[in-house]
Amino acid sequence: MKRYFALLIVTAILMTQFSSCKKDKGDPPVMPPAGSMTIDFDNFDQPVKGEYSFSLDKGTLNSNWELASGAAMLWNLIIYGTLAVPVSAFQLTADEQPVYIDDNTWQWSATATVLNSTYNARLTGQVTPSNNVWKMYISKTGTGGYSDFLWFEGTSKTDGSAGQWKLYESQSNPVELAKIDWTAAGGKATTVKYTFTKSGNVFAGSNIEYGTTQNSLNAYYSIYYYNNSAEEFFEMDVEWSTTGKNGRISCPKFFGDSEWHCWDSNYSNADCS
């Protein structure tokens, strides 16, 4: 009988410790949506290969769309060119199951192949009383390889409704290149704002915000960019239909007015109605 009660006591202690350990571990932090790093550029792909120039003539066949396309493509090159590796790595890790490390920290791991190179990514998320703290470490194998480069980091609200990323240029030049402010609802990004933050660069402060609405023109950009030709910053607002492809743009410094200038589903200039 004594052995029986001793066994019950040991079992109870072990169950209590297991329960306590599980309670201490808690749940992993709410992962920011994969779209918190991406912007939709599908409606502004240049149909003709070649370098875009802002020195286009107002009123030409598709100048309204071309102006919006040119400004958008500058950001497309940054996001899917310079930052292709960290953006792709984050989208992959977001689909993985996390494992608990310690100190309220969880880790997601994934492997990505970009431009014929293999990268191993590990994203850590730490739960703190005020927010969630994120760090993405990336290692590259083979020629020019490196280990555990902190390519971006950030914070997010505990409910996953908003946050900010800070991205660094590269392993060879680990300076801050851009930051991303994002909001989300229902696990999907609703607004994504990139700001070019690299100091000592004429483009520093340039930004683009992307979001969607319930309007007939259901997507938008708000862009603030440095125009090389004019040697000054321009502001523009762009709205378009993701299904109809038609849209409109306002850019006072280019058009000389604050009116909307439209294009149709074939990207040709059109009257705004």
Structure-model confidence comparison of residues 111 and 13, the more confident one: 111
User: How much is the pTM?
Assistant: 0.84
What is the arithmetic mean of pLDDT over 4-11? 37
Question: Does residue 40 carry a pLDDT above 90?
Answer: yes
What is the arithmetic mean of pLDDT over 166-192? 95
* Torsion, Cα of 212, 214, 216, 217 (10° steps): -20
Distance CA 68, CA 263 (A): 11
Structure-model confidence comparison of residues 71 and 2, the more confident one: 71
What is the arithmetic mean of pLDDT over 197-221? 94
Question: Does residue 15 carry a pLDDT above 70?
Answer: no
Measured CA to CA in angstroms, residue 166 lies from 9, 184, 210 at distances of: 51, 17, 17
What is the arithmetic mean of pLDDT over 252-263? 95
The pLDDT of residue 203 is 87
Average pLDDT, the chain: 86
Quickly state the pLDDT bin for 230 (edges 50, 70, 90): confident
The pLDDT of residue 47 is 53
Q: Which of 15-29, 67-81, 190-204 is predicted with the least confidence, judged by mean pLDDT?
A: 15-29
The pLDDT of residue 59 is 61
The pLDDT of residue 7 is 37
Hey, what are 244's tokens?
Answer: 């109809």
DSSP states of 169-212: S-SSS--EEEEEEEEEETTEEEEEEEEE--TT-TTTT-EEEEEE
Quickly state the pLDDT bin for 12 (edges 50, 70, 90): very low
Give percent of the chain above pLDDT 70: 86
The pLDDT of residue 5 is 37
pLDDT tens digits, one per residue of 57-109:
566 789 999 999 988 988 888 888 888 888 888 988 988 999 999 999 999 99
The pLDDT of residue 53 is 43
* Domain residue extents for the chain: 29-270
Q: For 223-247, give the secondary structure using H, E and C.
A: EEEEECCCCEEEEEEEEECCCCCCE
Reported for 20-26, long-range contacts at CB under 8 A and 24+ positions apart, including other chains, are: 25/100, 26/104, 26/127
